[in-house]
């Protein structure tokens, strides 16, 4: 049983009481909602004649169904239009803050909350979206929930939950050039497995995370769920405070000093006890690419697709399924795999630093013939910042399409989809069967710089050769 | 009151708009079962994202495993005639991983499934099932494989999940299963829909909020 970790402290501070079932009733400090998982929750409230208990602690945006080319209303897709209208109506009637398209603040929910300073250390954060783990980068306990639980948070600002165990994941050392936060988390998931984190919160610690920017920490925490961990976090430090200072919703004046004192008190104690510890060496991590149908099926770009016999027995069934679905042969190098589509964006890698890294690779080069490549900024603010830096010009000169903010082809609920058996190089988080909008489409996950490298060469390429 | 299930299920068409029962004690579920083999079956496969473009959960039962079913051309267990009256779904490792979409368990439940037995479940999926009144219990890998083989050998055979005894029984065979005690008590006491209990604590909720410094900063 863990003791003295940030997770323990934040959990205890937010505990309302113990329910008759023995579960904890946990207060949720920040509730984020979007158009896909909230409409049924509002309907359930209406059926039960319940109201929103803390409307000021819920913030809404629209991201999943947003078209990234033509955003004129009504949307061409009438179902998408119905979903945005429902969210607009629900927010209006319940007095919930809503960042709509064109507000300058719209974007992927896990991009906009941090950039506005809504996400803060020591908070509990819930959202009907599994990548809510992203917000753990600030030392928040943040996790995804389903729609019935969205209803519970709207009605009571609390959830019925069982406490998680805590695993400290320590990574030490400097990342080699061309190796990014995405490679670190893909390596962790490859090693610990896609279900290794079930029942755990992941605490990411060690000198590698200490040296990371907030955006890099967000990339790591974002994919905790792909390793089975419902939440992942990094203890807050000077980097966190530097990022937060002066943002729209960050405390200011005397409250800022009070906040720092409180945030510091939440950091895991030096003698904290963990349920488990895993240690990694940053120096051994190389650019990573997934070859299969789970985010745990990754290899270094220098490696071959593993043969089943080399894998643990329990992973072989899914490996066989992956060879067949992906049409890739075990024993073949992943490098050189031909690509059809390149997607840069998502809540994992759609922030300004991601676009900068990809632009460095794209600059002065051309997207290879026959490749469709597009960049979807994570938010309207990211888009504006990128344009101020001229990144849009670099991408467009190289032959990438420059789009509006949204989730886009990460899950393809908007018009951006793979066609048929197309294969994508994608900076997103999931390579599941059919994930990117075609039931036979294929996804290779990698860092944004690696996606840009694939775009300009037409195949999986070691980005280090282009830096 | 236990939720004793008849072996006869209404025809699929009638089940589409079936209301999932609320606030019922759930202690035993009996009915035919369906084996769905495979590890790491994610919620995108259970219900592809295009079916999330709706403001209700209506009709999701028709689209459970839509793409897998199309690709298997009638050979998917959800399409096979011998499993059409199944109430119990038996799965393998890490079932329901990935997206938090409650549409996934909603699709499975609206197809007609009332409980799942598996080697392991992803956490958000499990929590969604609790909130819907659909118990997910865990059995040893070998026992799950044995169950799946027994179902395939005799699809008509009824299986009984007993949450008091924590067993699955068929014929003379009894298999032990596990579930966290919190969720188990919620099913047994009919409090798996926690919303009312949570809202009832409004004074304690306000007091907790008042202790958190950041609530005053916003």
Domain boundaries, chain A: 6-161, 165-284, 288-459
Query: For residue B22, what pLDDT is reported?
Result: 52
Most distant CA pair in chain B, distance: 63
Q: Is A294 on the interface with B (CB under 8 A)?
A: yes
Q: Which two tokens stand for residue A167?
A: 């695993």
Cis status, amide bond into A74, omega within 30 of 0: yes
Q: Which residues pair with A219 in a beta bridge?
A: none
Q: What is the rounded CA–CA span in Å between residue A432 and residue A450?
A: 19
For domain A288-459, give its CATH number from 3.20.20.70, 3.30.499.10, 2.40.70.10, 3.40.50.720.
3.30.499.10
Q: What is the β-pairing status of strands B158-162 and B167-170?
A: antiparallel
Alpha-carbon gap, residue B25 to B191, rounded angstroms:
8
Chain A residue nearest residue B185, CA to CA: A21
Chain B within 8 Å of A162 (Cβ-Cβ)? Answer: yes
CA distance A271 to chain B (A): 25
| Local mean pLDDT, 10-residue blocks, chain A (467 residues) | 97 97 96 98 97 98 98 97 98 98 98 98 98 98 98 98 97 98 98 97 98 98 98 98 98 97 98 98 98 98 98 94 98 98 98 98 98 98 98 98 98 98 98 97 98 98 97
Helices of type H across A14-108 = 39-48, 78-94
Transcribe B151-189 into DSSP letters: HHH-TT-EEEEETTTTEEEETTEEEE-B--HHHHHHHHH
- Helical ranges in chain B per DSSP H: 12-15, 43-46, 66-72, 103-111, 123-132, 141-153, 181-189, 195-199, 202-211, 213-217
- Domain spanning A165-284 has what CATH number? 3.40.1060.10
- Who among B45, B127, B209 is closest to A149 (CB)? B127
Task: Give A156's contacts in chain B (Cβ within 8 Å).
Answer: 195, 198-199, 201-202, 205
Chain A nearest-CA residue for B188:
A21
- On whether residue B2 sits in a domain, the answer given is no
Burial class from Cβ neighbours inside 10 Å (0-12, 13-18, 19+) for residue A361 reads buried
Strand, coil or helix: what is A99? Answer: strand
Helical (H) or strand (E) element with A424:
strand A423-426
Task: Name the nearest CA neighbour of A447 among A109, A185, A135.
Answer: A185
Phi, psi of B42 (to 5 degrees): -90, 170
CA distance linking residue B61 with residue B105, whole number of Å: 10
Distance from CA of B158 to the nearest CA of A (A): 29
Helix (H, G, I), strand (E, B) or coil at A431: coil
Q: Residue B104 is part of which domain span?
A: 12-217
List the single residue in B53, B120, B191 with the smallest CB-CB distance to A80. Answer: B53
B207: in domain? yes
* Cα angle A397-A400-A402, degrees, rounded to a multiple of 5: 100
Taking an 8 Å cut-off on Cβ atoms, the answer to whether A230 and B128 are in contact is: no
Whether A147 has its CB under 8 Å from any CB of chain B: the answer is yes
Which residues of chain A neighbour B201 with C-beta distances below 8 Å?
16-17, 25, 156, 158
B97 → chain A, closest CA residue: A228
Nearest Cα of chain B lies from the Cα of A313 at a distance, in angstroms, of: 12
Q: How far is B22 from chain A (nearest CA, A)?
A: 12
How many Cβ atoms sit within 10 Å of the Cβ of residue B53? 18
| Closest by Cα among A21, A52, A177, A82 to B190 | A21
Whether chain B has a CB inside 8 Å of the CB on A259: the answer is: yes
Exposed/middle/buried for residue B188 (C-beta within 10 Å: 0-12, 13-18, 19+): middle
Query: What letter does residue A295 receive in the DSSP assignment?
Result: T
Closest CB to B53: pick one of A83, A228, A430.
A83
Residues in chain B with CB shorter than 8 Å from the CB of A158 are 198, 201, 205
Of B42, B132, B186, the CB nearest to A148: B132
From CA A253, how far away is CA A35, in angstroms rounded?
35
- ipTM field: 0.96
Nearest to B77 by CA among B122, B32, B128: B32
CA A404 to chain centre: 18
CATH number at residue B106: 3.20.19.10
C-beta atoms of A259 and B217 within 8 A: yes
Domain count, chain B: 1
Chain A from 381 to 420: CB within 8 A of any B CB: 411-413
Q: Between chains, do A148 and B193 touch, taking CB under 8 Å as contact? A: yes
pLDDT at A46: 97
The list of chain B residues with pLDDT below 70 reads: 1-23, 218
**CB contacts < 8 A (A, B):** 230
Residue B174 maps to a domain: yes
Give the pLDDT of residue A85.
98
Smallest Cβ–Cβ distance between A149 and the set B97, B99, B131 belongs to: B131
Give CA separation, B96 vs A225, A315, B49, in Å. Answer: 12, 17, 14
- Ramachandran quadrant class, A96 (left: phi over 0; alpha: psi -120 to 50; beta: rest): beta
Q: Residue A452's closest CA among A340, A344, A353?
A: A344
* Residue B4 domain flag: no
Return d(Cα B209, Cα A252) in angstroms, integer: 20
Kindly list the residues from chain B whose CB atom is less than 8 angstroms away from the CB atom of residue A413. Answer: 49-50, 52-53
Q: Which residue from A minimizes the CA distance to B37? A: A317
Does A292 lie at the interface with B, CB-CB under 8 angstroms?
no
Give the C-alpha separation, A119 to A141, whole Å. Answer: 10
pLDDT of residue B171: 95
Q: Is residue B3 part of a domain?
A: no
Q: Which residue of B has its CA nearest to A78?
A: B53
CA dihedral for A362, A363, A365, A367, sign (positive or negative):
positive
Fold match, A6-161 / A288-459? yes
A157 to B71: CB separation less than 8 angstroms, yes or no: no
Sequential DSSP letters for B72-93: HTT-STTT-GGGTT--EEEE-T
The answer to whether the CB of A276 falls within 8 A of the CB of A167 is yes
* Residue to test with chain A: of B39, B144, B198, B199, most A Cβ within 10 A: B198
Would the CB atoms of A437 and B49 count as touching at under 8 Å? yes
β A298-300/A341-344 pair status: unpaired
- In this complex, which of B50, B57, B94 lies closest to A40 when CB atoms are compared? B57
In the block, which residue shows the tokens 């490679």?
A183
**pLDDT at A175 (0 to 100):** 98
> Is the Cβ pair B53, A65 closer than 8 Å?
yes
Contact check, Cβ <8 Å, A29/B215: yes
Cβ within 8 Å, pair B214-A228: no
Radius of gyration of chain B from Cα atoms? Answer: 18
Instruction: Label residue A280 left, alpha or beta by phi (over 0 means left) and psi (-120 to 50 means alpha).
Output: beta
B82-109: per-residue pLDDT in tens?
A: 999 999 999 999 999 999 999 999 999 9
Residue count of chain A, please give it. Answer: 467
Q: Which residues pair with A61 in a beta bridge?
A: A99
Q: How close A455 comes to chain B (CA, Å)?
A: 26
State the fold for domain A6-161.
Aconitase; domain 3 (3.30.499)
Q: B-chain residues within 8 Å CB-CB of A437?
A: 49-50
A156 part of contact set with chain B, CB < 8 Å: yes
């Amino acid at each position: 049983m863990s003791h003295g970790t940030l997770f323990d402290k934040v959990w205890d501070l937010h505990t309302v009481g113990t329910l008759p079932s023995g579960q904890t009733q946990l207060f949720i400090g920040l509730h984020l909602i979007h158009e896909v998982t909230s409409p049924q929750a509002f309907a359930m409230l209406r059926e039960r004649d319940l109201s929103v208990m803390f409307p000021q602690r819920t913030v809404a945006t629209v991201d999943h169904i947003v078209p990234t080319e033509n955003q004129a209303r009504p949307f061409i897709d009438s179902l998408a239009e119905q979903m945005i209208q429902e969210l607009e109506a629900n927010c209006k009637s319940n007095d919930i803050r809503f960042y709509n398209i064109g507000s300058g603040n719209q974007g992927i929910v896990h991009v906009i909350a941090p950039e506005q300073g809504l996400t803060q250390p020591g908070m509990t954060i819930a959202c009907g979206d599994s990548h809510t783990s992203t917000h753990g980068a600030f030392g928040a306990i943040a996790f995804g929930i389903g729609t019935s639980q969205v209803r519970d948070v709207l009605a009571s600002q609390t959830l019925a939950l069982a406490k998680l165990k805590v695993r400290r994941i320590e990574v030490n050392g400097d990342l080699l050039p061309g190796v990014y936060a995405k490679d670190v988390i893909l390596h962790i998931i490859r090693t610990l497995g896609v279900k290794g984190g079930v029942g755990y919160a992941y605490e990411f610690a060690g000198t590698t995370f200490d040296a990371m920017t907030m955006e890099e920490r967000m990339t790591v925490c974002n994919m905790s769920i792909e390793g089975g961990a419902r939440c992942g976090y990094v203890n807050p430090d000077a980097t966190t405070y530097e990022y937060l200072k002066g943002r729209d919703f960050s405390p200011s004046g005397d409250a800022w000093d009070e906040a720092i004192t409180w945030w510091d008190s939440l950091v895991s104690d030096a003698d904290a006890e963990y349920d488990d510890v895993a240690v990694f060496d940053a120096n051994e991590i190389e650019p990573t690419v997934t070859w299969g149908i789970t985010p745990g099926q990754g290899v270094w770009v220098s490696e071959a697709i593993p043969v089943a016999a080399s894998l643990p027995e329990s992973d072989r069934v899914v490996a066989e399924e992956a060879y067949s679905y992906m049409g890739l042969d075990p024993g073949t190098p992943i490098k050189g795999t031909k690509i059809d589509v390149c997607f840069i964006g998502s809540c994992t890698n759609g922030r300004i630093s991601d676009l900068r890294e990809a632009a460095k690779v794209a600059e002065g080069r051309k997207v290879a013939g026959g490749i469709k490549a597009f960049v979807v900024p994570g938010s309207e603010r990211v888009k504006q910042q990128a344009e101020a830096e001229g990144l849009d010009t670099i991408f467009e000169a190289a032959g990438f399409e420059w789009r509006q903010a949204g989730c886009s082809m990460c899950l393809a609920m908007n018009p951006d989809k793979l066609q048929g058996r197309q294969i994508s190089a994608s900076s997103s988080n999931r390579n599941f069967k059919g994930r990117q909008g075609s039931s036979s489409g294929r996804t290779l996950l990698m860092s944004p710089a690696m996606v840009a490298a694939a775009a300009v060469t037409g195949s999986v390429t070691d980005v280090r050769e282009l830096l | 009151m236990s939720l004793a299930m008849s072996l006869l299920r209404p025809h699929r068409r009638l089940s589409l708009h079936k209301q999932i029962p609320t606030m019922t004690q759930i202690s035993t579920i009996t009915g035919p079962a369906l084996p769905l083999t495979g590890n790491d079956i994610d919620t995108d496969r259970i219900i592809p994202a295009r079916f999330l473009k709706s403001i209700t959960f209506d009709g999701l039962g028709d689209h459970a495993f839509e793409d897998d079913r199309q690709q298997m051309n009638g050979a998917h267990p959800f399409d096979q005639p011998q499993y059409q009256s199944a109430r119990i779904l038996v799965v393998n490792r890490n079932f329901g991983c990935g997206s938090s979409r409650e549409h996934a368990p909603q699709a499975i439940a609206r197809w007609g499934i009332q409980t799942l037995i598996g080697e392991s479940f992803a956490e958000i999926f499990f929590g969604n099932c609790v909130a819907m009144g659909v118990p997910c219990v865990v059995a040893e890998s070998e026992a799950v494989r044995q169950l799946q083989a027994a179902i395939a050998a005799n699809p008509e055979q009824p299986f009984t999940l007993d949450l008091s005894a924590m067993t699955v029984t068929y014929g003379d065979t009894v298999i032990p299963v596990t579930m966290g005690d919190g969720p188990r008590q919620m099913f047994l006491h009919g409090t798996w829909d926690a919303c009312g209990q949570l809202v009832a604590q409004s004074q304690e909720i306000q007091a907790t909020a008042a202790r958190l410094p950041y609530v005053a900063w916003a």
